[in-house]
Amino acid sequence: MLVPVFSLQLNNKVFPRTVAVGKFNGKQSCLVGATAGNKVFIHSPRDINPQAQQLEGNISLLNVNQVITSLACGQLDEQLKKDLLVVGTSTNIVAYDIDRNVDIFFKENPDGAHAITIGHWGELPEQLAIVGGNCSIHGFNKKCEDVLWTVTGDNVSSLALLDFNSDGYNEVHRDVKPENVMIFDAAFHRVKLIDFGMTRKCGSYVRRLIGSIPYSPPEVCNAVNNDILVSTAMDVWAFGVLFFCSLTGNFPWEHAQESDVYYNEYIQWHQQYQINRRYKLPSQWYRFSNRLMRLFRKMLDPEPSKRCEIIEINKYYDDRWINSRLNSRRRSSNEDEGVEEDFSSSGSGTESNTITTSNTDFEELTQMMRNSLIGFDNLIPIENQKPSSTVAKTYC
């Protein structure tokens, strides 16, 4: 049974979800909590903040001057080797160094702060003050930068950080599709995945789902039992299909099975390519350059073990992705011929290169992707966005 080891009479009401313990000088634990009158009490074996108002020797008060809805303690700045106090109200959050009696930052947060926790989120390298509000979660670093934002289905009432995948395991999203990709600005500077309901750790087994979608890899579509081994190759396949959709506006196939005409056409080309690199391309793939087809061939390999890693795409950023003449004769897919093959269809290499560049310019590709977005006309350019606001849209 639980036995109290000490009791403290405050003569003030303590609000729920507003009590925490922190080492504000890096050594000694202190108890903090929100009381009536928009104040935070600090209880410790000794006075660690002589400038604060004193109560009965070892209790100090900090005036916040707003109704306190949440608070948390943690090493938001790990270089300080001590805990900071983060206090949330209905409109803002404040990070406070109790040991030095100074504000670290003040941040307006219109979504409110119903719950706060401090710690590492995913692969982000620094500690964050993670704030849950009205249908949203924000993460602020020690510089008050809003480096994390996601939406929730309801108001956030509590938060906790835990390592559910036991460290050392890569997480597999398993549901990469346009509906789960968030665009934060019109220039595509910030793009994030959402909806991790199907995420499982790499190496685990999952049950087969009834039916399939165009993003499902063949090892899922053709599974004959309920023991499907989860691997990062699943996400690589789904991203390859998503890539195709972004550039064309349609799916490459309905499902990755040989009964699908378009998928069967792609698989035949993929298999024959190993023997004859001039084997004709599938009907929906003529618009893509040789370099891009090489990337597709690696990402959309029917054998999971042969698929490339997702970082493979980094090698293709500066390449041409779209052919200069979409209605030209069927071309070879010989990657070794490279750019020269694109030149051969019209006059000199210089002339053809000009045409190709104009058709595959980054701005034109960006516009092509924007045309498939919902509500992009209302997006605020990133340079005009206020630091305290975040705009997000989902594309499909």
Residues in the chain: 396
DSSP E strands: which ranges in the chain?
A: 14-22, 30-35, 39-43, 53-55, 59-63, 68-74, 84-89, 92-97, 102-108, 115-119, 128-132, 136-140, 146-151, 171-172, 181-183, 191-193, 200-201, 205-206, 228-229, 393-394
How far, in Å, CA of 167 to CA of 29, rounded?
29
Q: Which residues contact 106 (CB under 8 A, 6 or more apart)?
A: 92, 93, 94, 144
Q: How far apart are CA 293 and CA 77, in angstroms?
A: 46
205-206/200-201 β-pairing: unpaired
Catalytic residue check, 77? no
Which of 77, 97, 175, 260 does the annotation list as catalytic?
A: 175
8-state DSSP, 53: E
Q: Give the list of residues 6+ apart from residue 98 with CB closer than 8 angstroms, or none.
A: 22, 24, 30, 42, 48, 49, 62, 84, 85
Structure tokens at 324: 């200069």
Which positions are annotated as active-site residues?
175
